Amino acid sequence: MKTRTTLIIAALLMVTNFSFAQQNEECMLNLTMFNDAVKSKNYDDAYEPWMKVRKQCPKFNIAIYKRGEKILDHKIENSTGAEKTAFISDYMDLLDAAGENFPSKYSKGEIEEEKALKKYENQKDLGLTDYQIFEAFDLEFKNYRSDFTSTKGLYVYFTKTVDLFKAGQFEIQKVFDKYDDVNDQLDDLNEKYAKSLNKLIEKETAGNALSKTQGKYKTFYQKSLEANSKIAGSLDTYIGDLANCENLIPLYRKDFPTYKDDGAWLKRAVSKMYNKDCTDDPLYVELVKAYDQADPSAETKYFVSTVLRKQGKNSEADKYVRESYDLQTDPIKKARMAKKIANDFKRSGSYGSARTYYREALALNPSDGTPHLQIASMYAKSANNCGDNAFNKRAVFWYAAQEALKAGRVDPGLKSNATKSAASYNANAPTKGEIFSQNMAGKTITIGCWIGGSVKVPSLD
């Protein structure tokens, strides 16, 4: 009897194993079919074998989900009405299934971000309101902020806030809060990308070639930083005149008594007043003092210096600037601080001090080329004051052009801007006719004043 029972169990196992093997073979065949079709962009041909694998073997291969997103994107783009909304719904289901079957590859935050983007892209077809779109991104931001990396998503999240304010659904404080939230997120992402990118740049600078994978990461970091920079500018454009002194001052004046000991609120209020040039109002001084008392830091010392400079106490302000800079230890934050200090010196016409801090920013964050453009613009503005004759003065524009081009070499996202700036500077430099008449071709000109350095006159070849 025992022998018979054993034989039956063995037979059942053989049948089960055969069935499992047969199913695996069928799944592998369909996987190959839809994978090849997707590679050839024949998404309609891929759909049927893909659906078979998806239903029969949901854990078989991550390509079911990675390729499946492309297949459903095609279906959504090429359908209308109820059929389209059905494909959108299926896309959401696919993301949920991906998270269940491949949780290490699809985090909950990434899934929610993708869902929010898909809802926004198909808002009209799904009949969703602006508030529902805002809510989808707000869920992502509040619960999975570290996974909220989409520049497009961050932009939509903010613009929907502004739209809802204009529709009377949000108070203006909500707009300012969300503006700060999104900019803080961009700063955090940029800090992470810049640190990773700088490590790769250091490796290259040391003469070591990047691996193929490292090269791809380098491109990804550079493009991400460029995209985030564009989005940051777009946020300022979209908020427009809402963030002006006429709106900010009464709002912060009203809320100041409530938040006078809240470091986070004071930081945002002071930063906004400073960035929007509302520093002449007495409220700015009050906010800075309260911020420095509530949460003293490198940043508060910097803002104290701006107050002192307004009061004409420049030597004391310089002391606070240096203290602020020295207190900052994180290289990316320190580079950001150096640029802020440099910008202030540039605005006041202290070009030599500005260049010192711009160069410190370059040393701390070599992947950011914007300081080169700022230095070049100061050279160009000083051309008329740096030279003992007309030719030598205009030769400074060659020097400015050389500096501008450095921006594009270290930061590909600035290449176009750097090239245009250099061309503009070169257009103001001596012409070939002037080089010939002055017999200056190939000669080196020493530049005076605060600039220093020298520039070689182009040859006439």
Confidence of residue 13 (pLDDT cuts 50, 70, 90): very low
> Between the CA of residue 398 and those of 213, 409, 455, 456, 458, what are the distances in Å?
38, 17, 7, 8, 9
Q: Has residue 83 got a pLDDT over 70?
A: yes
CA nearest neighbour of 252 among 281, 223, 220, 228: 281
Rounded to the nearest 5°, which phi and psi values hold at 454? Answer: -150, 160
The amino acid present at 15, given as its one-letter code, is: V
Helices (H), 206-297: 212-239, 245-259, 263-275, 282-294
Burial (CB count <10 Å: 0-12, 13-18, 19+), residue 3? exposed
Provide the CB-side half-sphere exposure for 196 (13 A, CA).
Answer: 17
More confident residue, 12 or 177: 177
Query: What proportion of the chain, given as a percentage, has pLDDT over 70?
Result: 95
Confidence of residue 164 (pLDDT cuts 50, 70, 90): very high
Two structure tokens written together for 339: 């640029």
Using alpha carbons only, give the angle 284, 289, 295 rounded to the nearest 5 degrees: 120
Burial (CB count <10 Å: 0-12, 13-18, 19+), residue 76? buried
Q: Is residue 329 a contact partner of residue 163, using CB atoms and an 8 Å limit? A: no
pLDDT at 20: 41
pLDDT in tens, 400-441: 999 999 999 999 989 999 999 999 999 999 999 999 998 989
DSSP string, 290-338: HHHHHS-SHHHHHHHHHHHHHTT-HHHHHHHHHHHHHH--SHHHHHHHH
Confidence of residue 448 (pLDDT cuts 50, 70, 90): confident
Q: Has residue 8 got a pLDDT over 60?
A: no
Secondary structure class of 445 (helix, strand, coil)? strand
Q: Has residue 328 got a pLDDT over 80?
A: yes
pLDDT at 388: 84
pLDDT at 393: 93
Provide the CB-side half-sphere exposure for 269 (13 A, CA).
Answer: 32
Q: Has residue 2 got a pLDDT over 60?
A: no
Confidence of residue 461 (pLDDT cuts 50, 70, 90): confident
Q: From the centroid of its chain, how far is CA 220? A: 11
Q: From the centroid of its chain, how far is CA 362? A: 18
Q: Where are the domains of the chain?
A: 129-239, 369-461
pLDDT in tens, 16-74: 444 444 557 889 999 999 899 999 999 999 999 999 999 999 998 999 999 999 999 99
pLDDT at 387: 83
Q: Has residue 175 got a pLDDT over 70?
A: yes
- Core vs surface per residue 430-451: b (16+ CB within 10 A) or e: beeeebeeeebeeeebebeebb
pLDDT in tens, 118-159: 999 999 999 999 999 999 999 999 999 999 999 999 999 999
How far apart CA 410 and CA 317 sit, in angstroms, is 33
pLDDT at 241: 84
How far apart CA 2 and CA 8 sit, in angstroms, is 10
Two structure tokens written together for 168: 């009377």
Q: Has residue 11 got a pLDDT over 70?
A: no
Burial (CB count <10 Å: 0-12, 13-18, 19+), residue 405? buried
Q: If you search the block for the tokens 């000991």, which residue do you land on?
A: 261
pLDDT at 128: 97
How far apart CA 110 and CA 98 sit, in angstroms, is 11
pLDDT in tens, 230-276: 999 999 899 988 989 999 999 999 999 999 999 999 999 999 999 89
Mean pLDDT, the chain, integer = 91
